[in-house]
Amino acid sequence: MNSIYRFLLLSMMVLLWSCEDAIELKLKDNTPKYVIEGMITNEPGVCQVNVSQTKNFGDDNQFNGISGAIVKVDNNGTSVLLNEISKGIYTTTAINGTPGQTYFLSVTIQGEMFTASSTMPEHVPFLDFTLKPKDYDSTRTTPMVKFKDTPGVANYYWFQQYINDKIQREYKVLNDEFTSGQEINEYLVFENTTKDHGKNIVKGDRLTAEMHCIDASVYTYMFSLSNANGSSDGAAPANPVTNINGGALGFFSAHTVQRKTIVVP
């Protein structure tokens, strides 16, 4: 499955998120800004950075990739240059993420440098993903994820959602401010918010939950992004709180990945 979410012009990827989809940011003005959406995970060979530029409100939502950037990831004195595999998409298999390690990102675009860092948290086991008959409806289905929080340390979680391997706009972020060390049972919401009945959830559909253990800065970004996208009070929404330094939008995340899939009975 594609991991990044709508790496949120979201959409981390909400974004958000196909790795090549644009994050849906609601800018206060039409000044073009660079968007950097990057991640490295504990899965072998998963390190990708998307570099794009925002568009005007009336433009289409196609990924506006930027070519020719110099993209590097550093860890423990080793610097790895990412290759541009398509316009604005930079990857490498030369570095693997390890829990407890800090990774440093630098992106240079036409002489401008943007930097970020992220520390990969320790792995928290994803115990179960279940769906009860009473929680199933064709337009709104709410399966439950279960995991046990690690006590004595601040933990942050990001759940991405897929239907038949297609990433969904919806995602959930959690922290353990009031649940440290407890077993967590939390609902995810899979729903069709359109009038297209062809997008309803039907028996035999595969629902996938992808659990990421993330650091505090990525949690802040994802949480503020969900608030920006969900703003309904008529006020101009604020941009999500990025961990990218230098004036770009977006985020850089070093996180663990676990996933579970269920079939709608």
230 confidence band (pLDDT: 50, 70, 90):
low
Yes or no: say if 46 and 60 are a contact pair by the CB < 8 Å rule.
no
Token digits of residue 253: 């995340």
30 confidence band (pLDDT: 50, 70, 90):
low
Considering the chain, what is the average pLDDT of its residues?
87
What does the pLDDT read at residue 229? 63
Stretch 96-110: mean pLDDT: 97
What does the pLDDT read at residue 11? 41
Stretch 10-34: mean pLDDT: 51
d(CA 46, CA 68) in angstroms, rounded, equals 21
3-state SS, one letter per residue, for 19-63: CCCCCCCCCCCCCCCEEEEEEEECCCCCEEEEEEECCCCCCCCCC
Stretch 81-107: mean pLDDT: 97
Amino acid 264 reads V
d(CA 106, CA 114) in angstroms, rounded, equals 6
Q: Is the pLDDT of residue 86 over 80?
A: yes
Indicate the DSSP class of residue 180: T
4 confidence band (pLDDT: 50, 70, 90):
very low
Give 63 or 89, the one with higher predicted confidence: 89
Q: Is the pLDDT of residue 20 over 80?
A: no
Q: Is the pLDDT of residue 217 over 90?
A: yes
What does the pLDDT read at residue 28? 53
29 confidence band (pLDDT: 50, 70, 90):
low
Strand residues in the chain grouped as ranges (E): 34-41, 47-53, 70-75, 78-81, 83-86, 89-91, 102-109, 112-119, 126-130, 140-141, 144-148, 156-163, 166-175, 183-187, 190-191, 206-214, 249-263
What does the pLDDT read at residue 17? 37
Residue 206's closest CA among 161, 158, 171? 161
**What percent of the chain is predicted at pLDDT more than 90?**
77
Yes or no: say if 92 and 81 are a contact pair by the CB < 8 Å rule.
yes
pLDDT tens digits, 40-83: 999 999 999 999 999 766 566 788 999 999 999 999 999 999 99
What does the pLDDT read at residue 58? 59
Stretch 167-187: mean pLDDT: 96
d(CA 237, CA 250) in angstroms, rounded, equals 16
Amino acid 233 reads D
Stretch 181-207: mean pLDDT: 95
What does the pLDDT read at residue 32? 87
Q: Going from the N-terminus, what domains does the chain have, and what CATH number goes with each? A: 34-121+214-256 (2.60.40), 126-213 (2.60.40)
Token digits of residue 169: 């706009």
Amino acid 69 reads A
135 confidence band (pLDDT: 50, 70, 90):
very high
Stretch 156-179: mean pLDDT: 96
